[in-house]
Homo-oligomer: A and B are copies of this chain.
Amino acid sequence: MSSSYGQNLRFTIFGQSHSPAIGVTVEGLPPGERVDLEALAAFMARRAPGGKAYSTARRERDLPEILCGLKGGVTCGAPLSAIIRNTDTRSGDYAPLASTPRPGHADYTAAEKYGGAQDPAGGGHFSGRLTAPLCIVGGICLQLLRREGIEVMARILSIAGESDLSPFDRPVDPEGFPVLSAEAGERMQRAIAEAKAVGDSVGGIVECVVLGAPAGLGDPMFQGMENRLAAAVFAIPAVKGVEFGAGFAVSGMHGSENNDPFELREGRVVTRSNNCGGILGGITTGMPIVMRAAFKPTPSIAREQDTVDLETMQPARIQVGGRHDPCVVPRAVPCVEAAAAVAVYDALLEQKKYRR
C-alpha cells in the first residue's frame, strides 16, 4: 500500500491516467469548515496543462466533482471524496509501450512489481496526472491553514541551471510563469524552448516556504517535519532530492557558521539566521519552513532512445509519442505547495490533540 498519506488527516489517491476517473478520498477534515470551490479551482488551474508554451497540449478542465463530505459546501465530518473524470485520453498512443519500457519512466519497474498486471496506458497510476488529486486535498488544506494564519508558497528556483535568486518574500503570480524575477523567468523559458526544439527536456528546483507555522509542529524521529515533508514531496513524480534550510550546503559549513543563534524580536524568540530551515530536532522553530525539491528533466523526450523488448528480450529502440511537457517544473510548483500543505496540516492536527 502506498497511495495513502497522513496520520490525522488521512487520504488515498486513486486512479490511472486512462481509467474512467482519478480522485482522492480524505478522512479527518475538521467538521464545520467551508471549502471554497472557486479558490480550489483557481489553485488547480495553476497545475492544469494546456495553453502554455512550456506545457503539454493535453487539455482538460481538471475540476473536481465532490461526491460527499460536504453539506452545503461545509465539511460535515464524514470522509470527503472527489473525482476528476478522464475525458481526453488517447490510449492508442501508449500501446507499443507495454513491452518496451520508456527510459526514466516506471514502465519497467511497475511491470516487475505487478507481474505484468499493471495498467501501462499513460503511465497508469504512476502518471504525473495523479498530482491533480494531490492538489485537491492540498488545495483544501491550504484553505484550512490560511484560517490558522499559515501560508504556503512555492516558486521555481532554477531550471536547466538558470536561477532566480530573488528573495522569496511574496507569492508568485498565479497566472504567470511561477518565478519572482521576470528576467530569470525569461531565461528559464528560453532554456525550456531550446530543449524542446531539439526533442529534449530539462529539470529544475522548486523552493517552498511555509510562513506563520507556530513553533512546536512535528514530532521526534520518524515524524519530524523533515520526514513528513519529504514523505509527501517524494510522491510527486520526478523528485530526486529534498533539502531543508541550508540543505546540502551544511556539509561544507562549520558549526559556528551553521548554528542559528536565538534572539528576541518584538518579544518573540526567533533565530538570527535560518540555516535550519525552520526545523530543529524535527520540530518547527516558528521561523519560515524552507524546503527545496530537485526535479529531473521530463523522461518523455522526442528523441529515439535505447530500451529492451521485454517480450523478445532483445535490444530495441523507442520513440515516445503522446504529449509531454519539456519541463515539469512550472506545473510542479502548486504540487509542491499541495504536498507541503498536507504535511503541515497533518502535523498541526497532531499537535492539537495535546492542547490544554
Contact = CB atoms under 8 A, between A and B. Distances in A.
B27 A114 contact: no
A12 interface: yes
A90 B104 CA distance: 52
Interface string A255-296: 111111111100101011001110111111110000000111
Contacts of A280: 104-106, 108-109
Given A253-B296, A255-B297, A260-B104, A1 B8 contact: yes
A329 to B, nearest CB: 8
Nearest to A199: B256
- The interface residues of chain A, by DSSP majority, are classed as mixed
How many subunits of this chain does the assembly comprise? 4
Contacts of A189: none
A103 B263 CA distance: 10
B81 A14 contact: yes
A154 to B, nearest CB: 15
Nearest to A317: B261
Contact of A4 (B27, B30, B239): B27
A187 to B, nearest CB: 13
A185 to B, nearest CB: 16
Interface residues of A, number: 158
Given A108-B280, A113-B216, A308-B262, A14 B77 contact: no
B240 A297 contact: no
B283 A112 contact: yes
Contact of A78 (B3, B226, B254, B306): B3
Contacts of A112: 214-216, 283, 286
Contacts of A117: 31-32, 71, 74-77
Contacts of A333: none
9 contacts: A1-B28, A7-B7, A78-B220, A103-B261, A104-B255, A112-B283, A201-B254, A205-B248, A255-B300
